Chains A and B, each alone.
Chain A
């Protein structure tokens, strides 16, 4: 069964809207979660590392004030795209590290965001 639940799967909204995406770890508690972004025909690129109870760590070139990350519990991280613009349209995917040693990451089903 699914290990990671991501919601919503699809968002279409007007420019200037803020959009919140949720990522839930279903099977175990996760102190760390990752947020990736994937543009059409491109690879997944890490945006930020979400840390439970502390500030997220952002990759170079990712605006922390635009992409707000909140990891308030061990099973939930949220990504809020604030005042979204058409160039923010992309596929956003979260991942959760495996529960044991040497376990791979598991990914959510992604959120396709389209800003008109």
Chain B
């Protein structure tokens, strides 16, 4: 079993839809959880960063962490064609000088 599982998609939704992206993980020591957005041929861009369990909202994006289920989610409200990208979940045991473990990424297409 891989440390982080993420459905690669592709996921295609109409503009304005609510998008739900998810990852599961096996290492209960993970404490920090991130969502990155990656456009084609570009490096990952940080979207959301959360510590431990709970919800975090930033504009149209909401990140949820359920450590008891080892499950994290990213919701995108009112999706736009510009949201079309690959979304990567990532996690680490501690912050700072600790490498990240990534999911495979989910390719999202928002159709106008």
Contact = CB atoms under 8 A, between A and B. Distances in A.
Q: How large is the interface on A (under 10, 10 to 19, 20 to 34, 35 or more residues)?
A: 20 to 34
Nearest to B95: A102
B104 A104 contact: no
Q: Is the interface of B mostly helix, strand, loop or mixed?
A: loop
B97 A31 contact: yes
Contacts, number: 63
28 contacts: A4-B43, A32-B97, A34-B99, A41-B104, A43-B6, A43-B88, A43-B102, A43-B105, A44-B100, A44-B102, A93-B44, A97-B97, A97-B98, A98-B95, A101-B95, A102-B51, A102-B95, A103-B95, A104-B32, A104-B46, A106-B46, A107-B43, A107-B44, A107-B45, A108-B43, A109-B42, A109-B43, A112-B41
Interface of A: 4, 6, 31-32, 34, 41-46, 49, 91, 93, 95, 97-98, 101-110, 112
